[in-house]
Amino acid sequence: MANRERNKKILLELVKQPDNSTCADCGAPDPDWASYKLGVFVCLNCSGIHRNLSSRVKSIKLDFWEDALVEFMKSKGNANVRAQYEKAVPVYYYRPQQKDCAVLREQWIRAKYERMEFIGDTKYPPLCFHEGMLWKKGKENMQFLQRKFVLSEREFTLSYYNKEDETKGPKAVISIKDLNATFQPERIGHPHGLQLTYQEDNHIRNLYVYHESPEEIVTWYNAIRAARYAYLKTAYPTGSNEELIPKITRNYLKEGFMEKTGPLQKETFKKRWFILDSQDRKLLYFKGQLDAEELGVVFIGTESNGYSVKECVPKNARGNKWKCGVLVETPERQFVFMCEQEREQKEWLDALRQVLFRPMAPQDYTSKQACYSRKN
C-alpha cells in the first residue's frame, strides 16, 4: 500500500511538469492517463486510441503502478518522446487539437507511433501531387458517387472528374488560392467526411467528400495543406511560418441554424444554416446544412467602420418560432437573426464579437468588396 501511494504521488508530480501537463497527442490539459509502453502522458480520449494500438495504458490515479514502470515514466516524458517521434513533422502537417474529430486524432497517433512517419530516418514523402477516388455528394441531392480527384501543387489546382474517362476533361478545376478543407463528420454523416470550400465566380462553393480509409482521407487533407502551404509561400515570400501556417486551412468559428428575416424586417422568418468564417470575416448562410452554394454573405467589419453586434427583440415576429434575437448592423443594413435557445444566442454573440473586435488587415478590405447579400 505504501508503494502504491508513493508511486501515485510521483506520477502526479510528473504530470504537473510543464511538458507533461498537456496531452502528448492532442494538447488537452491535465492528462490523467499514460502509455507505459511509450512513456507519455495522455488524455482519456487519446488513451483509448493508444489502447487500440496495443500501446499499454494505465490511469495515473486509479491503477496500480509498479516501481519499474514509474522509473520508466520518469526517464521518458512527453518532451523526450516528442523529440523522437515528432523529429521530422512537415510544417504543413496538421497537429490535431483536443476538440478535433476522431479520425484526425487517431491518424496523428498512428502516423507517429505505429507508422513512425516522422522519426527522420526516411524523409516524409512530398505531397506535391496526389490523386485518387473520393465519394462526392451530388450538388442537388444526397447521393454520394465516386469521383476521381487530382491535386497538383505545381499547378496549384484541385480537379475532379465526373467520369473515369479523363479525355473529356475535369468537371471542375479549383484554384488552391481560395481552397479550404475542414472535417465535418456529423454533418456529412460519415466519420471521414471532409468539406472542401472555394470561390466560384461570385459564390462560395462547397464540396462534401469522404473516403472509406481513415488514413487516405487524412492523407488527402494534409496533401491539400501541403499545396496550400506551397501557394502561400509563393504568394507571401516574406511571410514567416508563424504567420502562414494558421492560414493553410481553418475550422469555422461557429456553425448552426438561426432564423433570418429580410432587409425590411417585415418578411417572414426562415430557418437557415449559418457558418462564421473568422479568417475572412464572413457570415455565410445556406438553405440547408449540405448546400453546395450559399444564399448570402454578411461581412463583419469593426465598430470603427460602422459594424455592431447585440441582442435584440425583432420588430416583427412573422413566421418565427425562436425568441432569442441577434442583431448584426453593417453600414448598408441591419440583419436580424433568431436563435432557439439563450445558450446559442450567447455563443453567436460571443463568436461575432470575437471577429468584430479584431482589427481589420489590408486583405480584409478586399474581402469586403467581394461580399454581397441576397434576400433570404
Tell me, what's the pLDDT at 126? 60
Order of strands across the sheet that contains 33-35: 40-42, 33-35, 57-59
Strands of 254-260's sheet, edge to edge?
296-299, 282-286, 270-277, 254-260, 334-339, 324-329, 308-312
Q: What is the DSSP letter of 29?
A: B
Long-range Cβ pairs for the range 195-199 (8 Å, 24+):
196/158, 196/224, 198/174, 199/175, 199/370
Measured on CA atoms in the order 369, 371, 374, 376, is the torsion positive or negative? negative
pLDDT of the residue at 369? 59
Task: Give, in order, the Cα–Cα distances in Å from 214 to each of 146, 192, 193, 211, 219.
Answer: 16, 6, 10, 7, 9
**Confidence (pLDDT) at 260:** 93
Domains detected in the chain: 1-114 (1.10.220.150), 129-247 (2.30.29.30), 254-373 (2.30.29.30)
Task: Please name which of 150, 201, 160, 155 lies closest in space to residue 175, comparing C-alpha atoms.
Answer: 155
Non-local CB neighbours of 276 within 8 Å, separated by 6+ positions:
252, 253, 254, 255, 282, 283, 284, 300, 348, 351, 352, 355
Which of these, 301, 307, 285, 296, lies nearest to 355 by C-alpha position?
A: 301
Q: Give the pLDDT score at 59.
A: 94
Q: Minimal CA–CA distance to 45: which of 102, 85, 96, 95? A: 102
| 310 Cβ contact partners less than 8 Å away, ≥ 6 residues apart | 326, 327, 329, 349
Q: Which helix (H) or strand (E) covers residue 44, if one does?
A: helix 44-52
Query: What is the reported pLDDT for 23?
Result: 97
pTM summary value: 0.91
> pLDDT tens track of the chain, all 376 residues?
567 788 889 999 999 999 999 999 999 999 999 999 999 999 999 999 999 887 789 999 989 999 999 999 999 999 999 999 999 999 999 999 999 999 999 999 999 999 999 998 765 556 668 999 999 999 888 899 999 999 998 899 999 998 766 677 899 999 999 999 999 999 999 999 999 999 988 889 999 999 999 999 999 999 999 999 999 999 999 999 999 999 999 999 999 999 998 888 888 899 999 999 999 999 999 999 999 999 999 999 999 999 999 999 877 666 667 889 999 999 999 999 999 999 999 999 999 999 999 998 877 766 665 564 444 4
Query: Residue 308 belongs to what H/E stretch?
Result: strand 308-312
Cross-strand partners of 334: 329
How far, in whole angstroms, is CA 366 from its chain's centroid? 24
DSSP secondary structure letters along 238-288? T--HHHHHHHH----SEEEEEEE--TTS-SPPEEEEEEEETTTTEEEEESS
What are the angstrom distances between the C-alpha of 369 and each of 152, 162, 282, 361, 373? 29, 33, 12, 14, 12
**Torsion angles phi and psi, residue 131, rounded to 5:** -145, 155
Give Cβ neighbours of residue 331 (< 8 Å, ≥ 6 apart).
301, 305, 306, 307
Task: Report the alpha-carbon distance of residue 312 to residue 321 in Å, rounded.
Answer: 15
